Amino acid sequence: MADISFIRQIRHGWFTADFWLCTILMFLVEFGCAVLGAPSPRLLEIVVCREYYDENGGSLTQRDCKIQEVQMRLGLMLTVLSTCSIFAATLMQIPMGLLADKRGMKVALVLNIISTILYWGWLPLVAVFIHLPTWTLYIAPVFIFIGGGPWASGALIFAAINQRITASQRTPAFSIMEAISGIADLIGPALGTLTMENHISIPFLVATLSFALMFVPTILLQHDPLQLSIEIDDIDSEAEVSRPGDSEEQPLLRSISADSNDSERPFIRSTMAIYGITFGSFFLISLARDSNNFLIPWISWRFNESMARAGLIFSLRAIVSSFVFFVLLPTASSFISRGLKYGSFTRDLIISSSSTLLLCAGAISIAVSSNLSTLVVGFCIMTLGSGATVSLRAFLASKVDRSLSGRLFAATSTTSTIGSLIGMPLMGALYSISISEETVDISLPFAMAAAAYFLVSCVIGSLHLTV
């Protein structure tokens, strides 16, 4: 039986010990990965460059590594390694979700942490400490099969949070989690760039320490969250403010043992429509967001700016994102729930639809911008809509039984990964067309992104009609 004082704490607020432990977990994994953003390709470049000069003779300096032959080898290694890693992570997300639901979140998180440490630790081990042959770097994706690597971490942490909060708390709680990720992405790259100047192994040691510290909050997480969630549901049914007839408290996906009969067929059709639309939205949003990978090259090409100056726009994104996740989303969620008296079902749909419209408007502004000021304004508008996936996760979580949280968030993460795998080559092809003389006045990747965001906004608006 869960501790009554803990239940009361949840009833009157969601800043509980478990929430902060999950927040720390999110920060540590995002920080560790962000630290390695620049050092990891540089480490691979060192390995490829060293092998090239071992084969062909000659001196080895950082400048020598920029020759075409070395960069072609590096590009091939990055492509193969990243593709194999993402493919392995995609295969492991659902099994990790199943493991979290069946054996407990702690078991899944421990395996995930071990997998992440081994994956990132293998690269410096091969390149710096042991000097193994270059082909041994391709062993790294094998470690992802232990626990999903860093790609599965976010899904597991969101699932752990979902098991410990009520429906009305999901959107603000998920918003805080995303904000923490943004802070890690702001601090990590700078630290990684600074520390790699002394020795390439230092940022890897910092990242490994960050991943290892994840064991502490994982061990401290409360046991038996599913039993606790039953009591939370009872409390939530009393405390949740919703309109008559609101179906948000009835999970569409229940336990596997639930009976089915002919009278449930319309219900099942409605369920499949909701899942199809929601997961399709995750796919399209992930695909559209790959256009951001070509923003800096586009600014440099279109407005004759250096890559370094163009990169400053991502610092602006970190500032706006912090405002969105720390202030705007929690305030909007509270106003819609308490001020307008809408239930969490309608609240999450309103926020999701509004956010995707902001994404669409921002993408259009970027695509057709004739000067840098217009582009920056469009980028800020688009960043204001970055809470779309937060409210979508909250909506979907309210329609799925808590005992299936691991599988749910693993499925959403897998869907997003697949969208990114398709989006990258698509946006790359559109960017190549954009920089031709005929279409230089418009950024086709962001035009495509705007179309995808608009489609998502329309289909999300139709969700309320399916239930």
Q: In this structure, are 188 and 281 located in the same domain?
A: no
How many Å apart are CA 160 and CA 337, to the nearest integer? 24
Q: How many other C-beta atoms lie within 10 A of the C-beta of residue 187? A: 16
Q: Which H or E run includes 294?
A: none
pLDDT at 109: 95
- 146 confidence band (pLDDT: 50, 70, 90): very high
Q: In this structure, are 124 and 50 located in the same domain?
A: yes
How many Å apart are CA 338 and CA 335, to the nearest integer? 5
**Is there a domain that residue 239 lies in?**
no
Q: What is the mean pLDDT of residues 102-111?
A: 91
pLDDT at 7: 39
Q: In this structure, are 109 and 174 located in the same domain?
A: yes
**Is there a domain that residue 304 lies in?**
yes
**Is there a domain that residue 227 lies in?**
no
Q: In this structure, are 164 and 78 located in the same domain?
A: yes
**Is there a domain that residue 262 lies in?**
no
Q: In this structure, are 284 and 188 located in the same domain?
A: no
Q: In this structure, are 213 and 292 located in the same domain?
A: no
- Of 165, 197, 221, which residue sits at a domain end? 221
Q: In this structure, are 96 and 168 located in the same domain?
A: yes
**pLDDT cut 90: percent of the chain above it:** 21
**Is there a domain that residue 191 lies in?**
yes
- Of 197, 221, 245, which residue sits at a domain end? 221
Token digits of residue 42 = 């540089």
Number of domains, the chain: 2
Contacts of 332 (CB under 8 A, 6+ apart): 351
Q: In this structure, are 174 and 316 located in the same domain?
A: no
Q: What is the mean pLDDT of residues 278-305?
A: 84
Q: 24-33, 327-336, 384-393, 426-435: which range is least confident on average?
A: 426-435
Q: What is the pLDDT of residues 229-261, one digit of tens each?
A: 444 444 343 344 333 334 444 444 444 344 444
**Is there a domain that residue 257 lies in?**
no
Q: What is the pLDDT of residues 1-54, one digit of tens each?
A: 344 343 334 444 556 788 889 999 999 998 998 888 778 888 888 888 888 887
Token digits of residue 152 = 């599965």
Q: In this structure, are 283 and 183 located in the same domain?
A: no
Q: What is the pLDDT of residues 312-325, one digit of tens each?
A: 677 777 788 888 88
What CATH number does the domain containing 343 carry? 1.20.1250.20
**Is there a domain that residue 146 lies in?**
yes
* This model's pTM is above 0.85: no
Angle ∠(41,96,249) on CA atoms, nearest 5: 120
pLDDT at 119 over 90: yes
Contacts 24+ apart (CB under 8 A), 423-431: 423/286, 423/287, 423/288, 423/289, 423/290, 423/291, 424/290, 424/293, 426/287, 426/290, 427/290, 427/291, 427/293, 427/294, 428/294, 431/294, 431/297, 431/298
Helices (H), 197-264: 201-213, 215-220, 225-239
Give DSSP secondary structure letters for 370-394. SSHHHHHHHHHHHHHTTTHHHHHHH
Q: What is the mean pLDDT of residues 205-217?
A: 95
- Of 198, 221, 244, which residue sits at a domain end? 221
Q: In this structure, are 185 and 308 located in the same domain?
A: no
pLDDT at 259: 43
**Is there a domain that residue 231 lies in?**
no
Q: In this structure, are 290 and 215 located in the same domain?
A: no
Q: In this structure, are 176 and 60 located in the same domain?
A: yes
pLDDT at 61: 54
Q: What is the pLDDT of residues 369-390, one digit of tens each?
A: 888 899 999 999 999 998 888 8
> Structural domain of residue 319, as residue ranges?
268-465
